[in-house]
Structure 1
Amino acid sequence: MTRTGPFKGRTISVVNDFSLDEQRYLYRKTRELKEAALSGSDVSKFRINDLDYQVYLIFMENSTRTRESFRNAGKFLGARVNVFDAATSSFNKNESITDAVKMLFGYSGESCFVLRTKLEGVCTWLDEAFTEYAQITGKPKPSFINAGDGKHEHPTQEFLDEFSFLEQLGWNEDHIHIAMVGDLYHGRTVHSKADGLRIFRNVEVDLIAPELLSMPSYYVEKMKANGFQVRIFDSIEEYLAQARVAPIWYFTRLQLERMGEAVLERTPYLRQAVTFRKDFLGKLPDGCRFYHPLPRDRNFPTIPFFLDELPLNGWDGQSINGYWTRITEIAMLAGRIGEDFEGEHARRPKFVDDFVHEAQAQEKRKPEYKVGIKPVEEGIVIDHIATGKPVGEIWDTIDAVRKILKLDVRSSHGVYHSNRGPDIFKGIISLPDIISFGEKDLKKLAAIAPGCTLNLIRHAHVAKKYRLSMPPRIYGFDEISCKNENCISFPANNEGVLTEFIRKGETTFVCKYCEREHKFRDIWDV
């Protein structure tokens, strides 16, 4: 059977690895598969039926539903399924994730790796690393599926959740009103909804959690940026005291294993705030359904067991939908289906590193270009450092430039008035006798002190001038690091992944792997 579909070799690391059109295709094909299978119709067009196609399950955190649904999905498809036992593997000998996957990749033909890890951004990194490695080995690039990475994302759970919501809503994508209840801080399944719910044209989200378990502001702001209407409540009781109650509720358990001691001390109060009670039943709208990614804590379930036999129970069907959606996902990545896809594919961002611009040099000598009182005859002057910023920040930036560029040479620096106004200041560093500045150092300077100018002084005149703007991304420097200790690029994790930041706002950068936001000054290790 041919496997040449357009999704072949793709990776699902985050929800946005599939465009909205691709997500809708996934849901449409899953509906088609599920209805055909349950009615006894032919489903052969979904099957791979090729034992040379290998599905590796690498679960470095415990899982039942996700692992078993993927295992059974692989069996349904007729692929070879390999369950990699992380507990007894070479991970216990401090082998990196990349080296372990390279070893398994070497033993297989075409392959798909399904990974659950404590480290965040693993699949994004592996997809990048194996694009080049596959070319070196002459083998087809493998696909990677993120089955949950730390507190970051769980895209395949999100896809099965959205499929379940669509089922309840009769496949109507016009509007959804959903309440998210429980541990919204640690719950990666609710974090993924900041993007996953975009398949609906109008989205209302009610966040129900005490402050200690509240949704991180990053995801709240992302929801608002995506056009969602967001309301916030401290408890179910408070939420039900108002009139507009959602017909879809999404519960998460309290992830005690991820909480610090200060939070654990308040566990009884936290549980009470997000656990449903019998006396709440009469306050729910008609046709209401409850969902939960499972498992429930059998001792303290946020959805108590008395609800199991009521029409509110949407979580059992939701769990089964994981099997159907994951069959479709692997079939897409294996190239078995997708030829009938129509729409826009997800596009990776392209960056143009054109943040260094040569400007017209001035003929006149500039009086500030001096060491002490002696003008610079030959050398380099870095001007307009942090212009307009508070004086303390200008000094900090000067210090960062000197440390990171290792400018421990005879020189001078200071804070001066700018010609932009009497209350506007700027920093200047004068470096006599330095007659060259490498391209990497120029890019590094642009990343440390965007907005500055670099002047090459020859015979006491400006021979060349470069204006440096804020770069679209910052990467390849030893002096930067993601400050998320669970990120695969965090130095102490020893995975050999170089940090890369992508600019999001004027002074905000996002880690390429874990998507943690950083202020510009925070990315530097000085």
Structure 2
Amino acid sequence: MNPRHLISLADFDVAALRGLLDRADALRPDALAGTGMRDSLRGRTVCTLFFEPSTRTRASFQLAATRLGADVLAFDAATSSGKKGETAVDTLRNLEAMGVDCFIVRTAVDGGLHELAAAAKPETRLINAGDGRSNHPTQGLLDMLTIRQRKGADFGRLSVALCGDIRHSRVARSDLQALKALGCTDIRVCGPDALMPDDATLDGCRRFVRFDEALAGADVVMMLRLQRERMEQGLVASLEEYFADYGLDGRRLALAKPDAMVMHPGPMNRGVEIADAVADGPQSAILAQVANGVAVRMAALQAVFAE
């Protein structure tokens, strides 16, 4: 692992993961209030290099960099020379030539960050904001921070259920990497066979076909978005049938522990993956996840600039 880059949580051991979570937790007051850290990255330039749409990740990275005092360049792929045929590597090199120090990259290409890291200058920093269906490390970190805040640091005593489109979900992969590293031994996955990965992603997990069984006694319920932009037609018969089989409503949530927390990385498809009453209910931690995003991304920026 190049310490100047944050590409995958698989590159981190448990001590490094806990260190990042501790750093993010300490930064939460400044992240939410916008105070106290303006000199941390003064004189640095951070570019949000997004080749795919984003709301939460892009906005929170921009806020994080601003909170730390960096100059922020927001790159818009829709109006860039990429539309004229320029490659992502050439885009990065041209922006490096303008003095950009750090790139926050989102791309539809699986493993696309590795190509950019190989082409970047030695002093350039890269942070993965989602590459294809491979990794979304800062989402994994903010999910772990949200769980830790509500359930404590002992992940070994937790039962965590992930439900939905795991096959196409970079969030699921980063969450699973982090949960395993932090010692969670009861990781449950549930969804249609067509939406389950065919690689080693689910090693160490318990696979459930029936959603009700996966939820029984769970401490954490993580719902995943149907990645319809990445999947072939016909993998889901209909959205109504999907919700009937795998949607989280009040009846199903009652099967989990009474204090179970509900999570979703967003954007939510209400009435497809999750019912309104659950998404907006007292057990929902969805907005807490969003709030933690700024602190986690501040911690990630500090970490890559620390080397």
2:64 maps to 1:69: no
Distance 1:13 1:151, change over 3 A: same
| 2:194 match | 212
- 2:10 pairs, out of 8, 16, 23, with 16
- 2:110 pairs, out of 100, 120, 123, with 120
Q: C-alpha distance in 1, partners of 2:213/2:245?
A: 9
2:298 maps to 1:323: no
Question: How far off is 1:309 after superposition?
Answer: 4.3
1:432-455 per-position Cα deviation (integer Å, ceiling 9, x unaligned): xxxxxxxxxxxxxxxxxxxxxxxx
Contact 2:249 2:277 in 1 (8 A): no
Q: C-alpha distance in 2, partners of 1:205/1:42?
A: 38
Q: C-alpha distance in 2, partners of 1:292/1:55?
A: 28
Q: C-alpha distance in 1, partners of 2:225/2:46?
A: 30
Question: How far off is 1:35 after superposition?
Answer: 4.5
Q: C-alpha distance in 2, partners of 1:321/1:153?
A: 19
Q: C-alpha distance in 2, partners of 1:35/1:179?
A: 30
| 1:171 match | 153
Question: How far off is 1:48 after superposition?
Answer: 2.0
2:221 maps to 1:249: yes
Identity %: 28
Distance 1:264 1:239, change over 3 A: closer
Question: How far off is 1:73 after superposition?
Answer: 0.6
2:202 maps to 1:231: no
- 2:94 pairs, out of 77, 80, 103, with 103
Distance 1:58 1:286, change over 3 A: same
Correspondences of 1:350-369 after superposition (within 5 Å): none
1:438-495 per-position Cα deviation (integer Å, ceiling 9, x unaligned): xxxxxxxxxxxxxxxxxxxxxxxxxxxxxxxxxxxxxxxxxxxxxxxxxxxxxxxxxx
Q: C-alpha distance in 2, partners of 1:206/1:169?
A: 17
Q: Which runs of 5+ in 1 are unaligned?
A: 1-6, 135-140, 225-229, 339-526
Correspondences of 1:472-487 after superposition (within 5 Å): none
Instruction: Indicate the SS of the match to 2:188.
Output: strand
Correspondences of 1:134-213 after superposition (within 5 Å): 134=122, 141-213=123-195
Question: How far off is 1:284 after superposition?
Answer: 2.5
1:41-62 per-position Cα deviation (integer Å, ceiling 9, x unaligned): 9744x84252x31110111111
Distance 1:218 1:199, change over 3 A: closer
Question: Which amino acid in structure 2 is aligned with residue 56 of structure 1?
Answer: C
Larger Rg: 1
Structure ranking higher in helix proportion: 2
Instruction: Indicate the SS of the match to 2:234.
Output: helix
| 1:509 match | none
Q: C-alpha distance in 2, partners of 1:48/1:262?
A: 49
Question: How far off is 1:20 after superposition?
Answer: 2.2
Correspondences of 1:418-429 after superposition (within 5 Å): none
- 2:242 pairs, out of 261, 265, 270, with 270
1:198-244 per-position Cα deviation (integer Å, ceiling 9, x unaligned): 342342111111212224342113xx2xxxxx22222323435xxx4
| 1:88 match | 79
Q: C-alpha distance in 2, partners of 1:259/1:331?
A: 35
Question: How far off is 1:305 after superposition?
Answer: 1.1
Q: C-alpha distance in 2, partners of 1:8/1:266?
A: 44
Q: C-alpha distance in 2, partners of 1:84/1:73?
A: 16
Distance 1:236 1:265, change over 3 A: closer
2:264 maps to 1:282: no
Q: Which has the higher contact order (CA 8 A, sep 6+)?
A: 2
Report which stretch shifted further, 205-214 or 168-177.
Answer: 168-177
2:47 maps to 1:56: yes
Tell me how large the CA RMSD over aligned residues is.
2.4
Distance 1:181 1:41, change over 3 A: closer
Q: TM-score, normalised by structure 2?
A: 0.91
Q: Which runs of 5+ in 2 are unaligned?
A: none
Distance 1:120 1:47, change over 3 A: farther
Q: C-alpha distance in 1, partners of 2:236/2:35?
A: 52
Q: C-alpha distance in 2, partners of 1:96/1:41?
A: 36
Q: C-alpha distance in 1, partners of 2:97/2:87?
A: 16
- 1:29 pairs, out of 16, 23, 32, with 23
Question: How far off is 1:269 after superposition?
Answer: 2.5
Contact 1:12 1:18 in 2 (8 A): no
Q: C-alpha distance in 1, partners of 2:36/2:10?
A: 28
Q: C-alpha distance in 2, partners of 1:220/1:327?
A: 30
Distance 1:93 1:168, change over 3 A: same
Q: C-alpha distance in 1, partners of 2:107/2:213?
A: 36
Q: C-alpha distance in 2, partners of 1:263/1:41?
A: 44
Structure ranking higher in strand proportion: 1
Q: TM-score, normalised by structure 1?
A: 0.55
Instruction: Indicate the SS of the match to 1:257.
Output: coil
Q: C-alpha distance in 2, partners of 1:36/1:80?
A: 18
Contact 1:173 1:199 in 2 (8 A): no
1:53-93 per-position Cα deviation (integer Å, ceiling 9, x unaligned): 11101111110000000011111011000011111111111
Contact 2:240 2:272 in 1 (8 A): no
Question: How far off is 1:266 after superposition?
Answer: 4.4
| 1:311 match | 282
Distance 1:86 1:202, change over 3 A: closer
Instruction: Indicate the SS of the match to 1:68.
Output: helix
Report which stretch shifted further, 146-155 or 260-269.
Answer: 260-269
Instruction: Indicate the SS of the match to 1:255.
Output: coil
Q: C-alpha distance in 1, partners of 2:294/2:152?
A: 20
